[in-house]
């Protein structure tokens, strides 16, 4: 990564385009409040500033033709924050969707969400559904917003659904496997993230995609989310491209697999 830091933005972009790209990137957008506090501003100003980072990252990932980008926008635990901040965040969500739906259409982005949407205010739910419907015909990158989302809640809900199917005789216990669990989660239909990024210097996953991150590459940066822009995203992907993903195998097995694939054997 040190060498990449010295590249110009154009050089960095070119290198990233030539390397293996992650299909699905997940991001914990952390540090909005601390960014504002450092500047002596109300915390909500940090969330507003973070919207520009969202715009830059989303358009870059769409340009790179990633399959999916999941953003941790509002966690199940965030409801515990002060009421005025929660209300402001819900209003900001609506503002973002109203402003960015045209950008999504221009970039062929399909919008979807995960989490307990029924817990959102009615006005926010309305704009979420409107954006889902408006972009439903797009075939480019999926922008997946995690709203009122928690990994443990998601797993608990999935267990309940599977248990109900067993109870009602629609599913045999022996049919329960990893594929079934994955298809019962909120992220059904999406590949597991190849890369998970967290900003602000914290080194934890904070109840985010607990099942899905099992084999993801993790990237932590000290950059606060409102300062995380296109170049920072490129640096994260370039770092990912230099890693060896073994999935429990050893390097020699990977070399053999690549050789076999190159020779047409699967």
Domains of the chain in start order, with CATH, are 2-152+190-262 (3.40.1180.10)
Question: pTM value?
Answer: 0.90
Residue 155's contacts (CB-CB under 8 Å, 6 or more residues apart) are 185, 210, 211
Locate 127 and state its tokens. Answer: 């704009």
Give me the pLDDT at residue 263, please.
39
CB count in 10 Å sphere of residue 113: 21
Assess contact for 227 and 35: CB atoms under 8 A: yes
List residues bridging with 217 in a β-sheet: 195
Q: Is the dihedral of CA 4, 8, 10, 11 positive or negative?
A: negative
Series of mean pLDDT values for 10-residue runs along the chain (266 residues): 82 96 98 96 96 97 98 95 94 96 97 97 96 98 98 98 98 97 98 98 97 98 98 98 77 53 35
Unique residue bearing structure tokens 């015909």: 137
Residue tagged 């990977």 (tokens): 254
How do strand 142-149 and strand 110-114 relate by DSSP bridges? parallel
Contact predicate 146/70, CB 8 Å: yes
| Tokens coding 222 | 């000290």
Give Rg (Cα) of the chain.
Answer: 20
Q: Determine the Cα–Cα distance for residues 57 and 10; give it in Å rounded to an integer.
A: 16
Residue 214 to residue 185: CA distance in whole angstroms: 14
Residue 239's nearest CA partner among 1, 5, 49 is 1
- Note the pLDDT of residue 262: 40
pLDDT for 16? 97
Active centre residues (catalytic):
30, 78
22: which DSSP letter? P
Query: Which distant-in-sequence residues (6+ apart) come within 8 Å of 257 by Cβ?
Result: 249
Token pair recorded at residue 50 = 């973070």
Rounded CA-CA distance 204/189 in Å is 26
For the chain, the straight-line distance linking the first and the last C-alpha, in angstroms and rounded, comes to 33
What pLDDT is attached to residue 245? 78
């Amino acid at each position: 990564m040190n060498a990449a830091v010295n590249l110009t933005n154009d050089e960095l972009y070119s290198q990233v385009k030539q390397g293996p790209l992650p299909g699905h990137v997940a991001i914990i957008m952390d540090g909005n409040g601390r960014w504002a506090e450092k500047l002596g501003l109300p915390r909500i100003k940090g969330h507003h500033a973070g919207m520009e980072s969202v715009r830059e990252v989303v358009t870059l990932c769409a340009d790179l033709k990633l399959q999916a980008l999941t953003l941790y926008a509002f966690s199940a635990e965030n409801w515990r924050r002060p009421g005025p901040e929660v209300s402001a965040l819900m209003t900001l969500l609506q503002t973002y969707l109203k402003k960015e739906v045209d950008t999504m259409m221009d970039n062929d982005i399909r919008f979807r969400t995960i989490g307990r949407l029924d817990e959102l205010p009615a006005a926010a739910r309305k704009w979420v559904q409107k954006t889902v419907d408006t972009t439903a015909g797009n075939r480019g990158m999926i922008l997946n917003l995690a709203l009122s989302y928690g990994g443990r809640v998601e797993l608990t809900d999935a267990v309940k659904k599977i248990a109900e199917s067993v109870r009602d005789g629609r599913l045999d216990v022996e049919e329960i496997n990893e594929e079934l669990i994955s298809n019962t989660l909120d992220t059904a239909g999406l590949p597991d993230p190849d890369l998970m990024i967290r900003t602000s210097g914290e080194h934890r996953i904070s109840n985010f995609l607990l099942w899905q991150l099992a084999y993801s590459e993790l990237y932590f940066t000290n950059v606060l989310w409102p300062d995380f822009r296109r170049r920072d995203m490129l640096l994260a992907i370039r770092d990912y491209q230099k890693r060896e993903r073994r999935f429990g195998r050893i390097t020699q097995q990977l070399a053999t697999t690549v050789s076999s694939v190159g020779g047409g054997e699967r």
